[in-house]
Amino acid sequence: MTLSIRTSVRPVKCQKFAMPTKQIVSSFLLLIHFSHGFYIPWLAPVNYCTKDKQSDTCKNDVSVFVNRLNSEEAIIPYEYHHFDFCTDDHETGPVENLGQVVFGERIRSSPYKLEFKNNQEWDYTCKKSYQPGNQEDLKKIKELIHGISLNYQHHWIVDNMPVTWCYQGEPGQQFCSTGFPMGCYLPKSGKPKDACVMNPAFNKPDTYYIFNHIDLTIIYHGGKGETWSTELDDDIGRILSVKVGLRSLSVEKDPTSPPMIVPKELKEPLTITYTYSVKFIDDPFTKWSSRWDFLLESMPSAQWFSILNALVIVLLLSGMVAMFLLRPLHKDIARYNQIDSGKDAQEEFGWKLVHGDIFRPPRKGMLLSVFVGSGVQVFIMTLITLIFACLGFLSPANRGALMTCALVFYVCLGTPAGYVSSRIYKSFGGERWKLNVLLTSMLCPGIVFGVFFVLNLVLWSKGSSGAISFGILAVLLALWFGISVPLTFVGAFFGFRKRPIEHPVRTNQIHRQVPDQSVYTRPASGIVMGGVLPFGCIFIQLFFILNSLWSNQMYYMFGFHFLVFIILVITCSETTVLLCYFHLCAEDYHWWWRSFLTSGFTAFYLFMYCVHYFVTKLEIQDATSTFLYFGYTFIMVFLFFLLSGTIGFFACFWFVRKIYSVVKVV
């Protein structure tokens, strides 16, 4: 039997040390080198014990937390109580960080009360009664039907582990998911959902079944099987995994009863009884540090294929650069630098002819400098975030940490954005420095925040848990105007105090006429072709990222992602430089904007891939979810446009300065 995993998390492992600082650092580095990962301090293991052994070092209660419910058929998540499930009378939950709030996670305590090693065959949770004449009850039934029809998924958490649901798929395959459906809808025609196939009693077309009984199987590691600072007692254990089984029962404590049906029209009183059972199983062979491994078994091969695909493209592109750029370029430089004073004017041809216009300031130089400055901010934020993620500090087990880290780094990187933007703008001869600083700090963040605010209004109108409150919006604005904007002004201050960038050749006062270009050397053709190869490096990795965003799958392969990011930087740089050389040989010196748009056009192919993913992988039909999907896609594509465009701009800027600094110009 083949096991296919839909969600996976790479853990990190840490132990407490009582030693000098140098030894701590050395031990830390050795731990990274000799292990797969390390557990950061706030994700330390929790010891559980039986009630009679409960003490300060272990606890008896096993807390079950419930998160928001979401669906692949709708972009609108809802809190747990939205569908009238059983709730905890004294509802509490862990403090959510900024990333969790922005992503719409709402973790709450549940009424499911578990005790370590206390098996419960049939425990009562609550009853929900609905009356035909009660409008509030009719609304709740409508919401239940709505959630079942769109296959909304529960997401439970036990000991910081996602509760997994495993079911049979195709013959010989078993699928596991970190979400499990709230019910099952059997359509009149078409393929039924996986939850419907699992139970042959679900045989009535156009019927809504609800899963009102949960079978929890908690696998733990007990006894003296782990090597830690203290040995574990026989009555103490650590939870390895929690799996859930689903049943729909119309009669309480009767496994043979017909399934519970939620009627489309409530004509008579309806009572839904929610129950659960718990079973603890000791696994002496699996260590707590390896408890995520069963979720990681099927992922690496596809990730390796992504890396190999990107490497092949880089090698191909590097060969093209060596063949069409390096050798001809060296020959050009050698011929240009021949000392023959009588034939200097006649010997000028190709890209040397445009030396007097190559550094002429472009049109809309203000906007270009702002885009480049914002792109530098996104680039550094992405690089630092990926480094921290590769070190294990942003493991998906630490929920919301990735988004929190990205937001904090972006806000704190206003200084390099202001510095780069001001330096580029000053090199263009610009004098409206106040406007440049304001646009750098307001334009691109304002576009992102404006779209996000509109999407948040849509979520708020639908009562979704994804809508953030006014207080969180105020926090985001405070981070923007209180930290990012002042830091941008600081960077711009130092940037404008610097002398303008000195170019290796002087700019003529009279513009040189650009000759008529062929179809292949026209700006539009080069820009369209320039984004193909960079996109080819990332499209496989992009599939996993989109799955993590829209298909309830956690992304954890940050090492692969970091390698693909480096390959993307190389590919964007080589592609832009190669096309820039071809245009200069055709005596077209308008390279400023073209260098930014050539690699930036990769974002267009990213958008088209997102459209393809929407059509082929998702089953979204309602207009609101479609609007939300493309709204969030626009934010992602816009930021990627700034990132890739900036890479191409600086690669081409370095290339042009380099080649014109080694030729002799009379």
Residue by residue, DSSP assigns 319-376 as: HHHIIIIIHHHHHHHHHHT---GGGHHHH--GGGGGTTTTTPPPTTHHHHHHHHHHHH
- The mean pLDDT value for 113-134 works out to 90
Residue 472 identity (one-letter amino acid): I
Question: What is d(CA 428, CA 451) in angstroms, rounded to the nearest whole number?
Answer: 31
- Residue ranges of the domains in the chain? 2-61+117-295, 300-499+524-661
From residue 410, give the alpha-carbon distance in Å to each of 71, 225, 380, 385, 435.
Answer: 30, 44, 8, 10, 21
From residue 513, give the alpha-carbon distance in Å to each of 249, 358, 483, 505, 590.
Answer: 81, 12, 46, 18, 11
Question: What is d(CA 464, CA 469) in angstroms, rounded to the nearest whole number?
Answer: 11
Highest average pLDDT, of 51-65, 350-364, 486-500, 514-528, comes from 486-500
In terms of pLDDT, which residue wins out, 654 or 398? Answer: 654
In terms of pLDDT, which residue wins out, 328 or 461? Answer: 461
The percent of residues above 90 in pLDDT, for the chain, comes to 36
pLDDT tens digits, residue range 154-170? 999 998 888 988 876 66
pTM (2 d.p.): 0.85
Give pLDDT, residue 234: 65
**Beta strand residue intervals within 150-267, DSSP E:** 153-154, 156-158, 161-162, 164-168, 173-177, 180-181, 183-186, 207-210, 213-222, 236-247
Q: Give the total residue count for the chain.
A: 666
Please give the full DSSP string across 403-417, using - where no structure is assigned.
HHHHHHHHHHTHHHH
Q: 295 pLDDT band (50/70/90 cuts)?
A: low
Residue 626, pLDDT > 80, answer yes
**322-327: which pairs have CB atoms within 8 A and are 24 or more residues apart?**
324/578, 324/581, 324/582, 325/577, 325/578, 325/581
Q: 410 pLDDT band (50/70/90 cuts)?
A: very high
Give pLDDT, residue 340: 44
From residue 399, give the alpha-carbon distance in Å to each of 338, 556, 635.
Answer: 64, 12, 22
- Count other C-beta atoms under 10 Å from residue 196's C-beta: 20
pLDDT tens digits, residue range 564-600? 899 899 989 988 998 888 888 888 888 999 999 999 9
- The mean pLDDT value for 430-445 works out to 92
Nearest to 272 by CA among 216, 217, 209: 209
Question: What is d(CA 197, CA 600) in angstroms, rounded to the nearest whole number?
Answer: 46
Question: What is d(CA 662, CA 139) in angstroms, rounded to the nearest whole number?
Answer: 76
**344-347: which pairs have CB atoms within 8 A and are 24 or more residues apart?**
344/666
**Cβ(653)–Cβ(455) below 8 Å:** no
Phi, psi of 622 (to 5 degrees): -75, 155
Question: What is d(CA 174, CA 2) in angstroms, rounded to the nearest whole number?
Answer: 6
Question: What is d(CA 122, CA 113) in angstroms, rounded to the nearest whole number?
Answer: 12
Backbone conformation region of residue 364, classed left if phi is above 0, alpha if psi is from -120 to 50, else beta: left
Contacts of 302 (CB under 8 A, 6+ apart): 540, 544
- For residue 276, what are the β-bridge partners? 123, 214
Place of tokens 């996976």: 8
pLDDT tens digits, residue range 274-284? 999 999 998 88
**What angle in degrees, to the nearest 10, is found between the helix axes of 623-661 and 592-600?**
140
- The mean pLDDT value for 500-513 works out to 83
Residue 55 DSSP one-character state: B
Nearest to 62 by CA among 166, 161, 155, 180: 161
Phi, psi of 656 (to 5 degrees): -65, -45
pLDDT tens digits, residue range 549-563? 887 776 677 888 888
**Cβ(66)–Cβ(80) below 8 Å:** yes
What are 381's two structure tokens? 């934020």
Give pLDDT, residue 480: 94
Average pLDDT for the chain? 82
The percent of residues above 70 in pLDDT, for the chain, comes to 83
pLDDT tens digits, residue range 443-458? 999 999 999 999 999 9
**Cβ(371)–Cβ(447) below 8 Å:** no
H/E element, 127: strand 120-130
- For residue 58, what are the β-bridge partners? 55
Residue 322, pLDDT > 90, answer no
Q: 32 pLDDT band (50/70/90 cuts)?
A: very low
CA-based max dimension of the chain: 105
Give pLDDT, residue 345: 46
- For residue 261, what are the β-bridge partners? 209
Contacts of 617 (CB under 8 A, 6+ apart): 546, 550, 551
- Count other C-beta atoms under 10 Å from residue 518's C-beta: 8
- The mean pLDDT value for 188-209 works out to 77
Q: 299 pLDDT band (50/70/90 cuts)?
A: very low
From residue 261, give the alpha-carbon distance in Å to each of 127, 274, 412.
Answer: 15, 13, 53
Q: 26 pLDDT band (50/70/90 cuts)?
A: very low
Query: Is residue 171 classed as helix, strand or coil in its secondary structure?
Result: coil
